[in-house]
Structure 1
Amino acid sequence: MVDDHELVRTGFRMIIAAQLDLSVVGEASDGETGLALIRREKPDVALVDVHMPGLSGVELTERVNRSKLATRIIILSMVSDSPFPRRLLEAGAGGYLTKGCPAEELLKAIRAVADGRRYLAQHVAEQLALSALDGHRDSPFELLTARELEVAMMLAQGREMRDIARIMKLSAKTVATYKYRLFDKLRVDNTVALAHLAGQHGLIDRPLPGA
């Protein structure tokens, strides 16, 4: 379990501990620690919060996928009407739930994803299906590629360009190209405006100081 809210982890741990076929092998309160824990423990499934300080759920999912780790990711979010479900499926996530889901649904999702199937909360699946049918994009962030969204997340969280380049293992020039492309697509011209927009559309729950 990777979530920066201890109360959330405690609740999930209690639900999972009551099951004979499931067990929690580790917990982390941030993405970087969570990724290291996944690499060390190699769990079948990881429950990952989408909003965390530092490495986000989007970034963690992409790293696990790029590293070809066997662990399958279930993303937990406070919101369903954001670009995350589609982007996370593209990044390799096995499931997407909102934190308000019933305990029975959480357990159903864990078992389904552990068996190699994907699981989406019903209202999230319906939302994606309807969006695909009418071609409607609810968020301007839907215009971004997975890499552009990853850069946008880190910029909105206040990360410096050099840190983003190091984390993504890219040159500063490449990161700058992503930055200007996403600024153009979102019609913003600075990171403060980006943070405001990201907050409005559920990408971050902690805007930049003074934003």
Structure 2
Amino acid sequence: MVRILIADDYPLTLMGTKAYVELLGYRVVGTCANGLVALNLIQQLRPDMAILDINMPGIDGVDILQKLHQQQAYTRVILLTMHREAAIYKRALNYKLSGYLLKEHADTELADCIRAVSGGLHYKSKYLDASHVADASAISDESLSPIERRIVALVAGQKTSKQIGESLFLAEKTVEGHRSRIISKLRLPKEKNALLKWALSNIKR
């Protein structure tokens, strides 16, 4: 039986994923909400597979993947995340990523992903086309801070302020504040969807 470890700092997501994976007939050998704990458990338990969130306390999911790759670990890693940025996916591929899923579509893809990864295949969410995903590194305006660049990339993906906040772990009001400063820095007209229009026209996709 395939042995799986799951790590996510959102309790509902963590327990929901665990329950679903067990319903599929797999054995969950451990769960946790911290990246460092996840890395230690993977090293101790050597599960066949680890389903990891990217943003977690301690170290993030991509860093765990990198360390496991450096150690030539046995465990295959699936990243289950809200991040659509092409740069994150491409970075993870450098460390032999086995699967990349978006949380919003996990209910329809997780079973297929686990099955594929169990068979030694790579699985990328059909909702994540790296050639059409907004890439924060493609934003050339140097006046924007790193967080502002990520926000613009998500705006180009037609995400709402609420969705951006959930993805970057920011309050919706904080995102709105960033958007206002971005519009000011880019000297955009204060009209509806001005930032979205700029992002769609200026970000390579």
Tell me, in whole angstroms, the C-alpha distance in 2 between the residues paired with 1:51 and 1:199: 16
Q: Which residue is 1:139 aligned to?
A: 135
RMSD: 2.8
Tell me if structure 2 keeps the 8 A contact 1:42–1:70: yes
In the alignment, structure 1 residue 3 sits paired with structure 2 residue 3: no
Q: Which of 19, 23, 27 is the matching residue for 2:27? A: 23
**Structure showing the higher strand proportion among its residues:** 2
Q: Which residue is 2:17 aligned to?
A: 12
Q: Which residue is 1:152 aligned to?
A: none
Tell me, in whole angstroms, the C-alpha distance in 2 between the residues paired with 1:186 and 1:76: 30
Tell me if structure 2 keeps the 8 A contact 1:49–1:77: yes
Tell me, in whole angstroms, the C-alpha distance in 2 between the residues paired with 1:51 and 1:76: 10
The one-character-per-residue Cα deviations of 1:176-209 (angstroms, maximum 9, x if unpaired) are xxxxxxxxx88469xxx334434554697246x9
Task: Please list every run of 5 or more consecutive structure 1 residues that lacks an aligned counterpart in the other structure.
Answer: 132-136, 144-184
Among all aligned residue pairs of Structure 1 and Structure 2, give the percentage whose two residues are the same amino acid: 25
Give the TM-score, by structure 1 length: 0.64
Q: Which of 108, 121, 146 is the matching residue for 1:194? A: 146
| Between 45-54 and 62-71, the greater mean CA deviation after superposition | 45-54
Task: Please list every run of 5 or more consecutive structure 2 residues that lacks an aligned counterpart in the other structure.
Answer: 1-5, 155-163, 179-205
Q: Point out 4+ residue stretches in structure 1 off by more than 6 angstroms.
A: none
Q: Which residue is 2:100 aligned to?
A: 96
Aligned residues: 157
| Between 35-44 and 195-204, the greater mean CA deviation after superposition | 195-204
Tell me if structure 2 keeps the 8 A contact 1:46–1:74: yes
Tell me if structure 2 keeps the 8 A contact 1:140–1:186: no
The one-character-per-residue Cα deviations of 1:99-144 (angstroms, maximum 9, x if unpaired) are 11243420111121122110011121xx22x45xxxxx8324369x
Q: Which residue is 1:147 aligned to?
A: none
Q: Which of 114, 118, 125 is the matching residue for 2:118? A: 114
Q: 1:199 to 1:138 in 2, by over 3 A?
A: closer
Tell me if structure 2 keeps the 8 A contact 1:82–1:201: no
Q: 1:206 to 1:70 in 2, by over 3 A?
A: same
Tell me, in whole angstroms, the C-alpha distance in 1 between the residues paired with 2:97 and 2:138: 17
Which amino acid letter does the alignment assign opposite residue 8 of structure 2?
D
Tell me, in whole angstroms, the C-alpha distance in 2 between the residues paired with 1:65 and 1:119: 17
Give the TM-score, by structure 2 length: 0.66
